[in-house]
């Protein structure tokens, strides 16, 4: 048995978790300590037609998250007396604004509609082609740069003296140290794709004062030690450090993809599907920009060349709607039975564009899907099993075309698609992906994000050789976790 000396805090949009890990004899062992929900806060809602819309704003419930994760860490410390290090990862782009070390209100959720106003404001100062050349990012209305522009207009940004992305904010609360981890910073739009430093041109054109940003750290760097009050609260009486990991959850997930050679693509499958290739350098061609591919910063200086193709958000949000619609007499279907019914659907199933912007805000997904088809004169899917099947077929189709595009744009050939994350458990989705792409699918590991988080810590604290490459870390993943193969 390897001692569990590391803790991963992985905050996903579906749930947060605290997982202990330890590496011995080249194998990673993990123990799940805590899992807690992460539901956004619609502070005030109003009814607009059939839709419930937030009127004031959509926020993350950061207090509950922090309370749950510290409770998880307390349990982790009790279960692992030799705990040495904690790594924190979370979804990208969102941030807290601080003044004098205090958080100014709840962090906005990226699905809040305000950022489209920010897009107009930013594009008036720097057009999308120049922005892509500087930051290498796909256009997503909710990239931090656009959210901040919307924030600036309300006067809120001007009051802040610090911006910390969510994992950096949590690291600050645990250690008192304000740092910006570079993989997540690469999703803001404020980082230069060429040197991965804050870009002075983007900052000055968007009027973001450079002093609100903090020093950058890389995965493996020490952020700091738990402060005395935090350590006490966690029941810890020895020094425990917070280690920077790929704090962008997708960076950690991709670090844990057990690629077998150079012909693998990845799909990090959860709330989103992040579909693409790992590269050594960014692709900044006009074709890549037009296809809306992104060049996010990965662990060890790699590039995640990918597209955000919606994800299981479409399914979970549909299920929430069915729950809302259910009469007392109806039993709302659980995920497994819905998937079984969807698998049993026969006959042609229409597919839609899962990345259509209308699917981004929370709300009535089944109705929006019906609208998408009706606007095009296509007969929409009828009934829940058909809707679920249509969602999965549409995702699988989008995965296939996105990977084909990535092959063209990079002049590389893909023969294997690795699906990692919670969605790798969705057998039907894996089968459909293999079928539509004509490529072999390898599904797993499920907890890729936490695994990538833990392995970077393991290397940083010396449980794994400090010279280990990403390939060496991936060999540990391959030894430690089974994958399921789906033939084309």
User: So which residues are the catalytic ones?
Assistant: 249
Long-range CB contact pairs, 208-211, < 8 A, 24+: 208/145, 208/148, 208/152, 208/157, 211/161
Determine if 316 is a binding residue for ligand ADP (CB under 6 A). Answer: yes
Which 253-282 positions form the footprint of ligand ADP (CB under 6 A)? 270-271
Contacted entry of ligand LRH, ligand ADP, none for residue 423, CB cut-off 5 to 8 Å set by kind: ligand ADP
Contacted entry of ligand ADP, ligand LRH, none for residue 93, CB cut-off 5 to 8 Å set by kind: ligand LRH
**Alpha helices (runs of H) in 295-364, residue ranges in sequence order:** 313-325, 335-343
Contacted entry of ligand LRH, ligand ADP, none for residue 97, CB cut-off 5 to 8 Å set by kind: none
What's the CA gap between 300 and 469, in Å, rounded?
A: 8
Distance of CA 192 to the CA centre of its chain: 20
Cα–Cα distances in Å, from 398 out to 260, 279, 323? 24, 21, 27
Q: How far apart are the first and last CA of the chain?
A: 38
Residue placing its CB nearer to ligand ADP in the complex, 213 or 319? 319
How far apart are CB 446 and ligand ADP at their closest, in Å? 7
Determine if 463 is a binding residue for ligand LRH (CB under 6 A). Answer: no
Among 274, 319, 333, 365, binds ligand LRH (CB under 6 A): 274
Contacted entry of ligand LRH, ligand ADP, none for residue 14, CB cut-off 5 to 8 Å set by kind: ligand ADP
Determine if 416 is a binding residue for ligand ADP (CB under 6 A). Answer: no
Determine if 272 is a binding residue for ligand LRH (CB under 6 A). Answer: yes
DSSP label of 194:
T
Site string for ligand LRH, 244-263 (x = CB under 6 A): ----xxx-------------
Residue placing its CB nearer to ligand ADP in the complex, 214 or 426? 426
Determine if 399 is a binding residue for ligand LRH (CB under 6 A). Answer: no
Q: Under 8 Å CB-to-CB from 7, ≥6 apart: which residues? A: 18, 19, 20, 21, 33, 73, 76, 77, 80, 83, 85, 86, 87
Q: Are 250 and 274 in contact (CB under 8 A)?
A: yes
Choices 12-20, 168-176, 196-204, 411-419 (CB under 6 A): range interacting with ligand ADP? 12-20
Residue placing its CB nearer to ligand ADP in the complex, 132 or 481? 481
What's the CA gap between 182 and 470, in Å, rounded?
A: 17
Contacted entry of ligand ADP, ligand LRH, none for residue 15, CB cut-off 5 to 8 Å set by kind: ligand ADP
Contacted entry of ligand ADP, ligand LRH, none for residue 92, CB cut-off 5 to 8 Å set by kind: ligand LRH
Among 167, 220, 422, 452, binds ligand ADP (CB under 6 A): 422
Q: Are 270 and 13 in contact (CB under 8 A)?
A: yes
DSSP 216-272: EE-TTSEEEEPPHHHHHHTT--S--EEEP---BHHHHHHHT----SSSEEEEEESSS
Nearest CA to 150 among 106, 184, 120?
120
Choices 29-37, 255-263, 270-278, 461-469 (CB under 6 A): range interacting with ligand LRH? 270-278
Residue placing its CB nearer to ligand ADP in the complex, 137 or 315? 315
Question: What is the binding site for ligand LRH (CB under 6 A)?
Answer: 13, 91-93, 110, 248-250, 271-272, 274, 308
């Amino acid at each position: 048995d390897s001692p569990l000396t590391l803790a991963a805090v992985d905050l996903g949009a579906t749930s947060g978790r605290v997982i202990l890990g330890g590496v011995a004899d080249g194998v990673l062992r993990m123990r799940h300590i805590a899992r807690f929900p992460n539901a956004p806060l619609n502070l005030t809602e109003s009814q607009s037609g059939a839709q419930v819309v937030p009127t004031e704003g959509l926020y993350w419930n950061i207090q509950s998250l922090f309370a749950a994760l510290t409770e998880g860490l307390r349990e982790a410390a009790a279960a692992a007396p030799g705990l040495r290090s904690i790594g924190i990862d979370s979804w990208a782009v969102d941030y807290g604004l601080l003044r004098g070390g205090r958080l100014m209100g709840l962090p906005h959720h990226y699905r809040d509609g305000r950022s489209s106003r920010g897009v107009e404001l930013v594009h008036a100062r720097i057009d999308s082609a120049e922005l892509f050349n500087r930051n290498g990012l796909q256009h997503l209305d909710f990239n931090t740069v656009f959210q901040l522009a919307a924030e600036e207009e309300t006067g809120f940004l001007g009051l802040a003296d610090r911006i910390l992305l969510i994992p950096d904010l949590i690291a600050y609360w645990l250690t008192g140290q304000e740092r910006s981890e570079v993989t997540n910073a690469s999703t803001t739009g404020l980082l230069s794709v060429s040197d991965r430093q804050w870009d002075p041109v983007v900052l000055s054109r968007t009027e973001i004062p450079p002093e609100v940003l903090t020093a950058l750290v890389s995965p493996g760097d020490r952020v700091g030690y738990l402060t005395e009050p935090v350590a006490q609260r966690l029941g810890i009486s020895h020094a425990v450090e917070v280690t920077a990991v790929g704090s962008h959850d997708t960076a950690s997930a991709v670090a844990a993809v057990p690629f077998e050679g150079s012909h693998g693509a990845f799909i990090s499958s959860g709330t989103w599907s992040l579909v693409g290739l790992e590269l050594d350098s960014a692709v900044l061609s006009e074709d890549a920009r037009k296809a809306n591919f992104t060049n996010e910063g990965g662990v060890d200086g790699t590039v995640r060349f990918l597209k955000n193709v919606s994800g299981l958000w479409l399914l979970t949000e549909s299920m929430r709607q069915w729950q809302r619609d259910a009469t007392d007499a109806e039993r709302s279907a659980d995920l497994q039975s819905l998937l079984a019914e969807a698998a049993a659907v026969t006959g042609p199933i229409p597919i839609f564009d899962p990345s259509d912007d209308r699917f981004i805000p929370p709300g009535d997904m089944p109705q929006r899907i019906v609208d998408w088809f009706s606007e095009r004169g296509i007969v929409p899917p009828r009934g829940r099993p058909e809707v679920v099947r249509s969602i999965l077929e549409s995702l699988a189709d989008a995965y296939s075309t996105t990977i084909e595009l990535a092959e063209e744009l990079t002049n590389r050939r893909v023969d294997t698609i690795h699906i990692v994350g919670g969605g790798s458990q969705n057998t039907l989705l894996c089968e459909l992906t293999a079928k539509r792409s004509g490529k072999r699918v390898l599904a797993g590991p499920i907890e890729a994000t936490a695994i990538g988080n833990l392995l970077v810590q393991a290397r940083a604290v010396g449980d794994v050789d400090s010279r280990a490459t990403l390939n060496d870390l991936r060999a540990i993943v391959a030894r430690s976790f089974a994958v399921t193969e789906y033939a084309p």
